[in-house]
Amino acid sequence: MINALEALSRLQEGNKRFATGIRSLDTMLSQAHKPDLVAGQAPFAVILGCSDSRVPVEIVFDQGLGDLFVIRVAGNVVASSQIGSVEFAAESFGTRLVVVMGHSRCGAISATLDAIRNPECKNTRGLSSIVNRIRPAVEELIHEGEDEATLKHRAVRSNVRMAAQSLRSGSELLERLILNEGLLVVGAEYSLETGLVDFFDGVPAEMRTEK
Ligand SMILES: [Zn+2]
């Protein structure tokens, strides 16, 4: 298994290809390796992303079958089942990079802002369970008197940071892997506008991409 920084670099290169409209030959050819994947998988990264139809993870990173272990839930929130999924991949496959990826114009973030501003509007129990997980990340931003676009941008990032931190400290297994086995949990934001992913949280200095 490749280490976390090699995995991060592979994601950055794949996203660059996607954003510039190049589809990698390797990715297309990986369809031909389908029979190899029957025996098992060795995904090089775990991605916790949003369910938004505009952010299909394998496509925005230009990766193929068997490359990524993907968990998608509206608002890329971290509940027990998400922690369990990350634990499963890290323990079973030795995957050493975990990315929490939010995105611009996220509907779950907007729904949370709406719920905070209009407490009398009742969401369903299911939707509330998502909104209530995002709420602590955005609640304190709301009073800072910024314009709506800036507020949403900051809220997306704050929610990613909180989710990444929940993974780093929410499981004894993951804590041990971080401490002893080089597991890295980073936060990122996908831009619908540019197609680029900015890895902005928890990335070692030498790996930071220029904006
Ligand atoms: Zn979203």
Instruction: Place 4 in a pLDDT band, splitting at 50, 70 and 90.
Output: very high
Ligand 1 mean position, distance from CA 51 (Å): 6
Q: Which residues contact 99 (CB under 8 A, 6 or more apart)?
A: 11, 45, 46, 47, 48, 185, 186, 187, 188, 199
- Mean pLDDT over the full length of the chain: 93
Indicate the domain borders of the chain.
Answer: 4-207
Q: Distance between CA atoms of 203 and 123, rounded to whole angstroms?
A: 36
Ligand 1 mean position, distance from CA 152 (Å): 12
Instruction: Place 209 in a pLDDT band, splitting at 50, 70 and 90.
Output: low
Ligand 1 mean position, distance from CA 101 (Å): 9
Per-residue pLDDT averaged across 117-144, rounded?
Answer: 91
CATH T-level topology, domain 4-207: Beta-carbonic Anhydrase; Chain A (3.40.1050)
Ligand 1 mean position, distance from CA 180 (Å): 33
Q: Which residues are annotated as a binding site for Zn(2+)?
A: 50, 52, 103, 106
Ligand 1 mean position, distance from CA 50 (Å): 5
Ligand 1 mean position, distance from CA 29 (Å): 30
For residue range 164-183, list pLDDT tens digits in order.
Answer: 999 999 999 999 999 999 99
Q: Which residues are annotated as a binding site?
A: 50, 52, 103, 106
Instruction: Place 211 in a pLDDT band, splitting at 50, 70 and 90.
Output: very low
Ligand 1 mean position, distance from CA 74 (Å): 6
| pLDDT value for 144 | 66
Q: Distance between CA atoms of 197 and 19, rounded to whole angstroms?
A: 9
For residue range 36-95, list pLDDT tens digits in order.
Answer: 889 999 999 999 999 999 999 999 999 999 999 999 999 999 999 999 999 999 999 999
Given a cut of 80, whether residue 155 has pLDDT beyond it is yes
Of 165, 5, 10, whose CA–CA distance to 97 is shortest? Answer: 5
Helix (H, G, I), strand (E, B) or coil at 97: strand
Of 181, 125, 136, whose CA–CA distance to 163 is shortest? Answer: 136
Ligand 1 mean position, distance from CA 102 (Å): 7
Ligand 1 mean position, distance from CA 32 (Å): 32
Instruction: Place 121 in a pLDDT band, splitting at 50, 70 and 90.
Output: confident
| pLDDT value for 173 | 98
